[in-house]
Amino acid sequence: MSWKLTKDYNNPMWGPRPLKIKGIRPLQPLKPLKPLKALRPLKPLAPIGHKSIWKDD
């Protein structure tokens, strides 16, 4: 078991280090969210374009 503990510590995904990584990981997904916010205003424009296409049909 001692060898397993060392392996867990070596592997950040196995040892208690994953908790720290988990805190850092949420920050990465936030970065892509920023661009999404900028796209949010564009989202309403997309449906309008689709509506015009539907009207054409």
Question: SS3 for 20?
Answer: helix
pLDDT in tens, 4-56: 555 555 555 555 555 555 555 555 555 555 555 555 555 555 555 555 555 55
For residue 47, what are its two tokens? 């449906």
**Which phi-psi region, left, alpha or beta, contains residue 15 (left: φ > 0; alpha: ψ -120 to 50)?**
beta
The answer to whether residues 40 and 33 touch, using CB atoms and an 8 Å cutoff, is no
Q: With a threshold of 0.75, does the pTM exceed it?
A: no
pLDDT score for 26: 53
pLDDT score for 57: 46
> Structural domain boundaries of the chain?
2-56
Question: SS3 for 16?
Answer: coil
